[in-house]
Amino acid sequence: MIRVLLGPPDRLAPNPVFRSASPMRLYEVDRVVLAENSEAFAVLRGEAERRSRSALAAVERRRGETLEHVNRMRITVPVLDWNELARKAVAHRNRIDAERARYRLDHIPASARVEEVDEPTLQRWVVNYLRHALTGYDDELEGLFGKVGRAEGERLLRGRIYAAIARAYPKLADECRRQLRLRQDGDLDETDRAAGSVKFPLNRGQGHA
């Protein structure tokens, strides 16, 4: 717009910040004021504002499409016997713990058994197992890569996944809310993601919630 309205600069000056950069184009104030009051400037500014509004509308439309896509996703959580689910979750956690030793030389794997894990830790591992192993969680998040509204879509998807787990396993509802809250606050630490074993022998009741 500047070059269209003002043409060549009145003078050039060295860039005061980057000496190797192109020189600055300077214009007389009177010429700038005259151009800003011209009909041509009003026309060009109106066109620029229309383009800006169109771009914002397109972004909002794509954002809405992303969120609609997330809302349409079918999230199915298999309902398993609790004891079977606990065994699978602990085995899943043990695999993750062993894999960490491959890229962290200071990490020593500590395999856990169901009967050695306290109830809060077990519930955390079960929720993590359901999220990662049974819901296609990571694949769904990857599908949002590069889309407008991705961050909001990720939050929506996480909330839907945790809600689905809580519906399938009511006893995990508090743990789902805890993890979701920590993720939203950015406080979910490595202990919650992979978790070293916490061993406190307990006698837990059996059965599926």
- Residue 204 has a pLDDT of 37
Whole-structure pTM value: 0.65
Shortest CA distance to 155 belongs to which of 125, 184, 196, 179?
184
**pLDDT over threshold 50, residue 172:** yes
Least confident of 39-48, 87-96, 150-159, 183-192: 183-192
pLDDT digits (tens, 9 = 90+) for 12-68: 888 888 888 888 888 888 888 888 888 888 888 888 889 999 888 988 888 888 888
pLDDT digits (tens, 9 = 90+) for 78-136: 899 999 999 999 999 999 888 888 888 787 878 889 999 999 999 999 999 998 876 66
> Residues with Cβ < 8 Å from 48, sequence gap 6 or more?
1
**pLDDT over threshold 80, residue 207:** no
Domains of the chain: which residue ranges? 2-64, 67-193
**pLDDT over threshold 70, residue 138:** no
Q: How far apart are CA 168 and CA 83, in angstroms?
A: 15
User: DSSP states of 138-196 as a string?
Assistant: HHHHHTTTT-TTHHHHHHHHHHHHHHHHHHH-GGGHHHHHHHHHHHHHT---HHHHT--
- Residue 188 has a pLDDT of 60
Least confident of 18-32, 65-79, 189-203: 189-203
Q: How far apart are CA 23 and CA 63, in angstroms?
A: 40
